[in-house]
Amino acid sequence: MLAPCLDDEEVQHENLSTAYISWYITLINTCMRLITSAHRYFTLAHELAHNLVQPHNSEHEFYFSAICEKHVQGLGKLLASH
Ligand SMILES: [Zn+2]
């Protein structure tokens, strides 16, 4: 079975006069911004939970999860706006 070809018809015919890679770089940059924002969100929630519980235990996990759940819709709106 052949792997699916991801190149468009012009690239398949070796017409490389247009910057075909630009959409891909834009997509990667957008994904990286979304991942970075989500990572910061969860890191902040993790550290906020440490204000309530110092060790990494089930109680810390409870507060971490509660903080994440409380504000996850805001995160979703923020990510959707970018
Ligand atoms: Zn920690």
Q: How far is the CA of 40 from the centre of ligand 1 (A)?
A: 14
Q: What pLDDT does residue 33 have?
A: 87
Q: What pLDDT does residue 29 have?
A: 82
Using one digit for the tens of pLDDT, what is the confidence trace for 30-77?
A: 888 888 989 999 999 999 999 999 999 999 999 999 999 999 998 888
Using CA atoms, how far apart are residues 46 and 51, in angstroms rounded to an integer? 9
Q: How far is the CA of 11 from the centre of ligand 1 (A)?
A: 48
Q: What pLDDT does residue 34 have?
A: 87
* Residue 39: Cβ within 10 Å count: 10
Q: How far is the CA of 8 from the centre of ligand 1 (A)?
A: 46
Put simply, whether the predicted model's pTM sits higher than 0.75 gets the answer no
